[in-house]
Amino acid sequence: MSPHLKLCQIAIPKFFVRLMPDLLTCSAMKPINNLFKTPQGDFKLVRFPQHKKETLRAWDAADEYLLQYLEAEGKTSTNNAPRILIVNDSFGALAMALQTFKPDVQLDSCLAEQGLINNFQLNNIDLVNITLLNSMMPLNGYYDLVIIKLPKSHAYLEDILYKIQPHINPQSKIIAAAMAKNIHSSTLKLFEKIIGKTTTSLAKKKARLIFSSFTNNKVTNSPYPKQFELEVEDNTFLITNYANVFSREKLDIGTRFLLENMPQPKPYKAIVDLGCGNGLLGLVAAQQNPEARVIFTDESYMAVASAKINVENAFGTSRTAEFLVKDCLAGVEKQSVDLILCNPPFHQNHVVGDHIAWQMFNEAYAALEPGGEFWIVGNHHLAYHSKLKKIFGDYNVVASNKKFAVMLSRKA
């Protein structure tokens, strides 16, 4: 069979041909309405990073449902002024609507953090109205109301629930919001196990709310971070993973395939583990290239904290490295590195897409010096090779199996 796809010749009815211009016009992208209307006020919200042809809003029906519920039930009456904690509010939709109560807002993603800051600035709202906490910072005091936008990771949700335990009491209200398709029986069992009595709302615009009250009255420490041992060639590494790190309890098969096909050691000067997660790629590269400067970068605070612990466990004080909680390669100078390793993510929370890969590949090209190498691993169906060819001009398949390919592109 030819490797090139051939277009099928199909007889198209004439009436359909006449309708095609109108159909194309109707299907053309319409500008996204960025006005977020809530009982607490109207706000302009945009996603972060912003894309020229954005097709998604910076909030969902679960955000709307939650804010409508709070207003209808009088849960945020200014006469009562509850102390509020908001967790995992990606672009600040909830924090902005509830900013008059000066909530604490905890996030694991620096992208979510920057998105929130941008939206506050866009609406001329002073950031002193909220207290921003990253996921590695401790909570303080008791909360009357805890609001959680359900994360994609079951483990991260588990960690969140354990960490709020010492900061709630039987009078505290815990409310989680998500699209109904992302709420499973295992989700509700987690709330029941860690917090206590749990119920759900009826669905509204395909969104649902979870209500939980602290009836267990037994504070238990989070089981995270977790550890496992990893053998690479003749070395055994103790790997520590915080809850929101991909593949927390074992090595994921994509990373394993790249580790089995790493670049041969040579006089690399500067190596980057891009989207480092727990830092395994950079860790092994650091071990194989002892003279190289190594940079670990990820948008997750938990990921970078995991990578830092893993490097310290492996090398103690004998090896230094840089750890950046940044958007892709922000903070890495252009044409300053000669090797970048990457196992690209293909989703941002619940949103699946290739925009992160495009950004990573473009920024990798900018960060590499001439002759620098970009090594990635990816599922075949993601077609990363076409992106590499467009950005770098060419690519080589270093290794391939039924599911993954390890590819290399060099900057001319």
The burial of 191, by beta-carbon neighbours within 10 Å (0-12 exposed, 13-18 middle, 19 or more buried), is given as buried
Strands (E) in 112-269, as ranges, are 131-134, 145-149, 173-179, 198-200, 207-212, 226-232, 235-241
DSSP letter for 128, please: G
The pLDDT, as a whole number, for residue 354 is: 74
- DSSP per-residue letters across 159-193: HHHHHHGGG--TT-EEEEEEEGGG--HHHHHHHHH
The pLDDT, as a whole number, for residue 78 is: 58
The pLDDT, as a whole number, for residue 8 is: 38
The pLDDT, as a whole number, for residue 288 is: 94
CATH code that applies to domain 226-410: 3.40.50.150
Q: Where are the domains of the chain?
A: 35-212, 226-410
The pLDDT, as a whole number, for residue 202 is: 96
The pLDDT, as a whole number, for residue 56 is: 87
Class of CATH domain 35-212: alpha beta
- C-alpha distances (whole Å) from 372 to each of 264, 298, 390 are 14, 21, 17
Successive 10-residue mean pLDDT values, the chain, 412 residues: 38 41 45 88 91 83 97 74 94 96 97 96 96 97 97 96 96 97 97 96 97 88 93 88 84 92 95 96 95 96 97 93 96 96 72 76 97 96 92 96 96 95
Q: Which two tokens stand for residue 160?
A: 């969140």
Cα separation, 356 vs 344, in Å, equals 8
SS3 of residue 359 by DSSP: helix
The pLDDT, as a whole number, for residue 79 is: 62
Domain 35-212 identical in fold to domain 226-410: yes
- C-alpha distances (whole Å) from 215 to each of 173, 192, 198 are 11, 9, 10
The pLDDT, as a whole number, for residue 33 is: 83
Cβ count near 338 (within 10 Å)? 21
